[in-house]
Amino acid sequence: MSHYVKSRKITHYRNGKIKGTFTLSNKTKTHFEISKDGEWQQWGNTVNNLYMTVRAVEELVKEQRQFILC
């Protein structure tokens, strides 16, 4: 059975940092943090599940860069 991102909680901070949590359909959670310079990390899930949230985190980094450039 393939799992999917069921919900997400994302917080944008004034200093440019973004933090959040993705909850997957199997009820596991992946936490992430993006620094103001676009470096990011995620943790809290099995390696097999982390790949499901990489694209979403990279999209947030892309949005963050566009916002900073404006």
Q: What ranges do the domains of the chain cover?
A: 5-69
Which pLDDT value is given to residue 69? Answer: 62
Q: Which residue matches tokens 């985190």?
A: 57
> Do strands 40-43 and 18-24 pair parallel, antiparallel, or not at all (unpaired)?
unpaired
Residue 8 pLDDT > 70, yes or no?
A: yes
pTM given for the model: 0.84
pLDDT digits (tens, 9 = 90+) for 14-68: 998 999 999 999 999 999 999 999 999 999 988 878 888 998 999 999 988 877 6
Which pLDDT value is given to residue 40? Answer: 96
4 CB-near residues (< 8 Å, 6+ apart): 24, 25, 52
Q: Which residue matches tokens 């799992």?
A: 3
